[in-house]
Structure 1
């Protein structure tokens, strides 16, 4: 009796097939290749773990925080050093647990990041793809508007907008989003101009597709990978701008545990009680580093030049 040979391909071979049988197989294969290149970068994995840790802490803040982040004990717990009386990271000048405030502050940080990305990235993608595909006076007008926004430093423009709108976390998010979209528009325009005269765009035109359909269904998806990398790399800057606004009293208002505002309240004690301002500063450093490492890893994984190496 002759043995049977299993000729069905393994999952890895199915994902890496150079002749995918369906669009789903092609997409899963590309995702697998990107993840394999990304996972080879140890620093990128470290950045991913930091960001995943931030998300977990933000989601389960109510279960992880040992104390109330807004209520303190002025009589017995004011400016306690780390480890004293069960306060792992010490307390601030209001007797509030710094660890609990950092944990709840991660929610504000994550909210700012997500909302700014949701607002700024689509605006930049739309402006850039329309300008790059249309060309002519449309391109000139949109890019001159973009240049006006790029002429001002992000923090200065955000300060002006928040001063006009009024202090508050909602106005701070809106101001940061308004100042963040121009670089995305530039990237999307550059990507669009590289393939707007390509054969597949001409083929879609011959099939009768309208310019709106071409931009939304064919041009924008091709710009997404570069935009994702740039948005991820910009997250560190967004965190710093949000912290700067909070430090100046224009972001989240007390008693919200925003990291920039925590640094502002602790700057008076920086020489003797360093942990009051040092701990939120360290949190900003770690999260910003995580986004930078993640962005570098995504850039290397999504770069088509790396695929052939």
Structure 2
């Protein structure tokens, strides 16, 4: 083995050891945050419930039994029944599928859009930055829920239209973050060296700036998931999301509000599901931020 090959292999080994050590300490720091671990456990439980819903649910979520309408929680119906005699526990379990579907699909849509817009604005600057950021400011000037309601009302009720409406309101914050990260890195020496070596703007964005933006965007997406869940529930509550008899948590809360005085469980159980999962996303996002961004660690 030549000296060059030896040095190359030694460098690769050192890089692998450094990466493994960094992953180890990051994982240890995350596990040392009990709130973040709690959030992760709740999210994993929700995902497992969505995957194994037919085996976890005790009843058909859409099966009606008017003779057992508005039954309180008990042995047969763990979380009680609604006004049509449907088992609330089974509907919440199946409703987790819809919530995960909306959260994941919105995240998959807004992350690339926000990254492309933000990196382009931050790297090219000038009129590109002004145009893209003014469009972003227009979206940010409206409350996200109000804007989502407007888009959902224009598109019509339905899960797919709700996903589009929420995505149209969720990408600007990602674009702002990606632009800030790009502006920080644009004047760096390694970017100047890449430009001098003849690297194209697309290559610099893809090979040098994108890897730096991704960790911050992942954290932001995770924190946004709670807002996406709440917005989806709000659209369902107002009848602009999933339509009956689909067991969506917001729609279940809306249907149960008429009975909340005498039959509190009808509105409380899906509301608690929304609360716990939204809190879990926030706690998990905070823990992930401490791991991926050492500047934010306490």
Identify the TM-score tier after normalising by the shorter chain.
Answer: over 0.9
Please report the RMSD computed on the Cα atoms of aligned residues, expressed in angstroms: 1.4
After TM superposition, the structure 1 = structure 2 runs for residues 159-308 of structure 1, keeping only pairs within 5 Å, are: 159-305=149-295
The alpha-carbon deviation at position 122 of structure 1 amounts to 1.0
TM-score by length of 1: 0.90
The alpha-carbon deviation at position 24 of structure 1 amounts to 4.4
The alpha-carbon deviation at position 22 of structure 1 amounts to 5.6
Match of 1:13 in 2: none
The alpha-carbon deviation at position 156 of structure 1 amounts to 0.8
Cα deviation, 1:285-304, whole Å, max 9, x if unaligned, reads 00011001001101111222
After TM superposition, the structure 1 = structure 2 runs for residues 87-98 of structure 1, keeping only pairs within 5 Å, are: 87-98=77-88
Does the alignment pair 1:80 with 2:71?
Answer: yes
Of 51, 59, 68 in structure 2, the residue corresponding to residue 59 of structure 1 is: 51
Moved over 3 A (4+): 22-29
Structure 1: unaligned runs, 5 residues or longer: 1-18
Equivalent-residue separation in structure 2 for 1:25 and 1:188 (angstroms)? 30
* Partners of 1:131 and 1:138 within 8 A in 2: yes
* Partners of 2:289 and 2:296 within 8 A in 1: no
The alpha-carbon deviation at position 20 of structure 1 amounts to 6.0
Equivalent-residue separation in structure 1 for 2:187 and 2:180 (angstroms)? 13
Count how many residue pairs are aligned between Structure 1 and Structure 2: 288
Cα deviation, 1:9-64, whole Å, max 9, x if unaligned, reads xxxxxxxxxx7626544443332222121111111111110111111111111110
TM-score by length of 2: 0.93
Q: Which structure dedicates a bigger proportion of its chain to helix?
A: 2
Structure 2: unaligned runs, 5 residues or longer: 1-10
* Partners of 2:148 and 2:165 within 8 A in 1: yes
SS class of match (1:252): coil
Equivalent-residue separation in structure 2 for 1:80 and 1:114 (angstroms)? 34
Match of 2:4 in 1: none
Equivalent-residue separation in structure 2 for 1:162 and 1:29 (angstroms)? 47
Equivalent-residue separation in structure 2 for 1:282 and 1:304 (angstroms)? 33
Match of 2:132 in 1: 142
